[in-house]
Homo-oligomer: A and B are copies of this chain.
Amino acid sequence: MDFKTVYSGLSSKVEEALLAYFDDSIDIVEPLKSAMRYSVLIGGKRLRPVLTLSANKLLDGDSDEVMPIACAMEMIHTYSLIHDDLPAMDDDDLRRGKPTNHKVFGEGMAVLAGDGLYSYAFEIMLRNSKKYPQNINGHLNSISQMANGAGVNGMVGGQCMDLSCEDNEDAGKEELAFIHKNKTGALITSALLAGLYVCNPTKEQIHAVSQYGHDVGLAFQIVDDILDIVGDQEKLGKPIGSDEKSKKLTYPSLYGMEASRRKVEELYHSACEHISIFGNKSDFLKELAAVMSKRDS
């Protein structure tokens, strides 16, 4: 099967599983449920849950066992986008071509929709872990990885630095490296490791997947920065040029466009090398690294 077919097969399964977490049988008070559902089901590439499922497959994991973790991952990602789009943060009106959460539900409800998704993600993972008492340590490691990646030494820490740098003209390469590593990278690496941990991996396997995560995470972020300069607004579903307008710290603004493209290429090769220890089971993640480095949306 070719890459696209496999990817869309995985992301469809994620889509279906996500839908079930918001169907009519789920009792969550309105308009909280609608606000949470709106942002989760608005679409997107489902990259992070696909990473969770694919890392799990490296060690022949059970996709039923890991699917709730993959969905929780997407909910955590969505919560971070909702809070990031708030007027007090990035103040974005559009996300994936649609009005952002606070534009539809109001700021207060958007804060709660984010909070709710984060809680719901942990509830889902914890409930799931109880179904696998024989593998409780695998699940605990997976849930812990998620908490770390989303937390103060991960995503939230990165968002803090990002916010601080908006008004800091002295911010430079060190701050940008911190933002890339934490704001986006930590969650991408955690998405992979959360899927892997369920299979109780060796230290060597954890290291390989962490490195792959670091490389594709950084490449992903640099490509994001590049696309904000040369991307196609329609394909991206959001306006371009916003980084320059807000004087945001980006890889191209600090290192130039050519060096940025070269870095992406290097990271792609490094990612593939790290993941090679899994033999041909790593083919999908290698192709995914290629696609992430060459994407135009």
User: Which residues of A line the B interface, CB within 8 A?
Assistant: 27-33, 36, 83, 86-89, 102, 106-112, 114-116, 118-120, 122-123, 126-127, 129-130, 133, 136-137, 140, 143-144, 147-148, 150-153, 156-157, 159-161, 163-164, 178, 182
Given A136-B140, A140-B136, A153-B28 in contact, is the A147-B160 Cβ separation under 8 Å? no
Structural contact, B31 and A160, CB atoms closer than 8 A: yes
Given A28-B157, A115-B156: 15 more A-B contacts, CB < 8 Å: A28-B153, A29-B152, A29-B161, A33-B152, A36-B152, A88-B102, A109-B160, A112-B156, A119-B156, A120-B151, A120-B152, A122-B122, A123-B148, A130-B144, A133-B137
Complex CA–CA separation, A31 to B164 (angstroms): 8
Structural contact, A144 and B156, CB atoms closer than 8 A: no
Between A and B, 14 residue pairs with Cβ closer than 8 Å are A31-B160, A31-B164, A33-B152, A36-B152, A83-B112, A86-B108, A86-B111, A88-B110, A89-B111, A119-B152, A123-B152, A126-B143, A133-B137, A140-B140
Kindly provide the distance from the CB of A74 to the nearest chain B CB, expressed in whole angstroms: 16
**Closest B residue, CB atoms, query A122:** B147
**Closest B residue, CB atoms, query A163:** B108
Report chain B residues within 8 Å CB of A137.
133, 136
Complex CA–CA separation, A159 to B109 (angstroms): 9
Kindly provide the distance from the CB of A246 to the nearest chain B CB, expressed in whole angstroms: 13
Structural contact, A32 and B123, CB atoms closer than 8 A: no
Complex CA–CA separation, A19 to B87 (angstroms): 32
Structural contact, A116 and B151, CB atoms closer than 8 A: yes
